[in-house]
Structure 1
Amino acid sequence: MFLTRFQINPARRNARKLLSSPHAMHAAVRSAFAAVEDYECADARTLWRLDTPGTATVHLYIASPGRPDLTHLVEQAGWPTTETWVTREYDGLLSSLRMGQEWAFRLAANPTHSGRKTADAKETQRFGYLREQEQVDWLARRADRHGFALASQQDGRPNLRLHRRQTQSFKRGLGTVTLTTATFDGLLRITDADTFRRALTGGIGHAKAYGCGLLTLAPAQPTS
């Protein structure tokens, strides 16, 4: 596995097109892999996420089974005269994970539930959770099945911060896709290392092709 960071230049026209359409960004990420097995394999798939650490800074993160070639993105939406992209091997971190470890994390996700659009509808559909508490509850329910537990604050609530909560619509072929997303920043504790590794390499939730599901880790800050 590999983890890649690419800085997007939002002032460029092609960059604005990619940033406005998860479908277009998905196609650009897919084009970074010549071989199918580098994009997706039996126990891992390519995941991506957009982060905005500053008002004029946008980073694209990609976790993938194979090493990507982002030359086309540099030419279309990057900073060709200053930097290209950074790719690091991910397997060392994955193999070091153990039960009981605590990590800070970030996850962009598509919090949804299944239901019928009308009382007499025969088929179920996925609907996005719109309220912040519903989105927090969605992640809390999925934590155990993905091998981790959310850390709690002194008041017992999950130690989480939600941002970039939005509902976005974009074209896909002749149709329109509507996607509800939220980014979670928080603290977690690993409860099952093997299951947690699968969550890191396979993603969490739906809409993985559209920039959701990638959970990344950072050292947890010690508490006083």
Structure 2
Amino acid sequence: MHLTRFEINPARRDARSLLASPQKLHAAVLAGFPTLTTAQTQDGRVLWRLDQRDHQVLLYIVSPHKPDLTHLVENVGWPTTQGWDTRDYTPLLDRLKSGDEWMFRLKANPVSNRRKTADATRSQRFGHVTVAQQTEWLLARTERHGFSVPHGEHKEPDVAVRGREHLKFQRQSRTVTLTTAVFEGRLHITDPALLRHSLTHGIGPAKGYGCGLLTLAPVKRA
């Protein structure tokens, strides 16, 4: 598995168009791989996430194969000064141990499945829109993904919800509506194998639209 970091130049016209549509960005990410290498494998699948902080826009990609992002550099990057950085993800995956703590960041699509009306025959997905609902959605899924969220100083789960968005964009002839939230906090590893699977296969729905990618960073000690 590989972890790739690419910086987008938001001042470029093509970048503004790309950033406005998760569908276009999904296609641009997949264009960095040969067609036969984009399918999900036992090792993992192509996941991506867009992180926007201050004036910096970063695209992170986790993938079984190394991407070639030349097209992104030429169209939405800095062709003469900067490319992209791809690193082997295996050393980090191999060092995960039960009991270890890490800081984490996850952009997800928190949803519930329920019937729209009492007489409906099929359930539909509805996005959670409040911070409380979105936090509860994550905490209800941590065990199956190999981690728990410990409590912080105020005896509350050590996780915050950032960057909440309600997106609408076109996919072919229909409008896609997507509710997303960025979770940042601290996790405690309970099952390394499950956590590795979560890191390489993603968490929750809408993975093709930039959701589901969980990344880790060392805990900063005072």
* Runs of 5+ unmatched residues, structure 1: none
Task: Answer whether contact 1:39 1:64 (CA < 8 A) is retained.
Answer: no
Task: Give the aligned residue type for 1:59.
Answer: L
Out of 155-164 and 98-107, give the one that drifted further.
Answer: 155-164
What secondary structure sits across from 2:196 in the alignment? helix
Alignment correspondent of 1:130 = 129
Distance in 2 (CA, whole Å) between partners of 1:71 and 1:46 is: 17
Shift of 1:36: 2.2
Distance in 2 (CA, whole Å) between partners of 1:3 and 1:157 is: 31
Distance in 2 (CA, whole Å) between partners of 1:161 and 1:202 is: 23
Shift of 1:156: 2.2
Alignment correspondent of 1:14 = 14
Task: Answer whether contact 1:39 1:66 (CA < 8 A) is retained.
Answer: no
Task: Give the aligned residue type for 2:111.
Answer: T
What secondary structure sits across from 1:44 in the alignment? coil
Identical counterparts, % of pairs: 53
Shift of 1:44: 0.6
Alignment correspondent of 2:95 = 96
Task: Answer whether contact 1:150 1:187 (CA < 8 A) is retained.
Answer: yes
Shift of 1:37: 2.9
Task: Give the aligned residue type for 2:45.
Answer: R
Q: Which runs of 4+ in 1 moved over 4 A?
A: none
Shift of 1:35: 4.5
Shift of 1:151: 1.8
Q: Tell me the TM-score normalised to structure 2 length.
A: 0.97
What secondary structure sits across from 1:153 in the alignment? coil
Deviations 1:94-138 (A, max 9, x none): 011110110000000000000111221111011000000110000
Task: Answer whether contact 2:43 2:64 (CA < 8 A) is retained.
Answer: no
Task: Answer whether contact 2:108 2:182 (CA < 8 A) is retained.
Answer: yes
Alignment correspondent of 1:63 = 62
**1:2 to 2:9 alignment:** no
Alignment correspondent of 1:217 = 216
Distance in 2 (CA, whole Å) between partners of 1:35 and 1:21 is: 22
Distance in 2 (CA, whole Å) between partners of 1:128 and 1:38 is: 27
Alignment correspondent of 1:179 = 178
**1:198 to 2:221 alignment:** no
Distance in 1 (CA, whole Å) between partners of 2:159 and 2:88 is: 28
Shift of 1:38: 5.3
Distance in 1 (CA, whole Å) between partners of 2:143 and 2:43 is: 19
Distance in 1 (CA, whole Å) between partners of 2:65 and 2:4 is: 11
Aligned pairs for 1:39-50 within 5 A: 40-50=40-50
* Runs of 5+ unmatched residues, structure 2: none
Alignment correspondent of 1:110 = 109
